[in-house]
Amino acid sequence: MNRGLDVAIAGLGLVLSSPVLAAGALAVKLEGSGPVLYRQLRVGKDGVDFELLKLRTMVVGAETQGAGFAVDKGDSRITKTGRLLRRLSVDELPQLWNVVRGDMSVIGPRPTLRYQVDAYDDEQLHRLDVKPGITGWAQIHGRAALPWAERIELDLWYVRHHDWKTDLLILLRTPLALFGGTYKGRSGGWQQPS
């Protein structure tokens, strides 16, 4: 049932977002040479590698420059178009195709790079017990603004406690998180970053 819902949501998402995706792809192409899509090996469920798709937001060959795979706020390798695409998370839309292909789920921990997984301890490896997702528990609690260790803890909480109600909450909260809000749980509600 989860797989069917994933395909239905991702398929509908691809149809509805196709104008935005097309505009983003055109903007990437107009800004300079290089591919529109960025492909990168990420680690999925049970530690299996897959090719993640994104709209390219950085200069070609960015992994071999500066901080390598690490991307910091204000990174000079991010293109002008890329800054906007990242801020609005439009660069992530091609991952709907990853969901259709079965590499990812709509909801789950964000997929990470092999070198990050190689540094996991035994407990952290449980992040790989579920398919990675486009959005997840850590995303509605602060996204990349959170320290790495805190994101891992939130993902592990999700792996241990997810059910249809948690997934529905994540789906409903994701649009607010995209535009700067942070979910602090039932008692804290939504807070804008200071």
What is the per-residue pLDDT across 98-144, written as a single tens digit (0 to 9) for each? 999 999 999 999 999 999 999 999 999 999 999 999 999 999 998 77
Task: At 28, give phi and psi (nearest 5°).
Answer: -60, -45
pLDDT tens for 23-52 read 999 999 999 888 999 999 999 999 999 999
Kindly state whether residue 192 falls inside one of the protein's structural domains.
no
Quick one: pLDDT at residue 171? 92
Residue 184 has pLDDT above 60, yes or no: no
Quick one: pLDDT at residue 78? 86
Kindly state whether residue 70 falls inside one of the protein's structural domains.
yes
Q: Which long-range contacts (CB under 8 A, 24 or more apart) does 15-23 make?
A: 17/93, 17/96, 20/90, 20/93, 21/55, 21/90, 21/93, 21/94
Domain count for the chain, please give it: 1
Quick one: pLDDT at residue 68? 63
Kindly state whether residue 193 falls inside one of the protein's structural domains.
no
What is the band of 180 on the pLDDT scale with cuts at 50, 70, 90? low
Q: What is the mean pLDDT of the chain?
A: 87
Kindly state whether residue 35 falls inside one of the protein's structural domains.
yes
Kindly state whether residue 194 falls inside one of the protein's structural domains.
no
Select the more confidently predicted residue: 62 or 89: 89
Average of per-residue pLDDT across 168-193: 64
Kindly state whether residue 96 falls inside one of the protein's structural domains.
yes
Kindly state whether residue 60 falls inside one of the protein's structural domains.
yes
What single letter denotes the amino acid at residue 136? G
Kindly state whether residue 107 falls inside one of the protein's structural domains.
yes
What is the band of 87 on the pLDDT scale with cuts at 50, 70, 90? confident
Per cent of the chain over pLDDT 90 is 66
Select the more confidently predicted residue: 66 or 108: 108
Q: Which domain holds residue 37?
A: 2-186
Residue 64 has pLDDT above 80, yes or no: no
Per cent of the chain over pLDDT 70 is 87
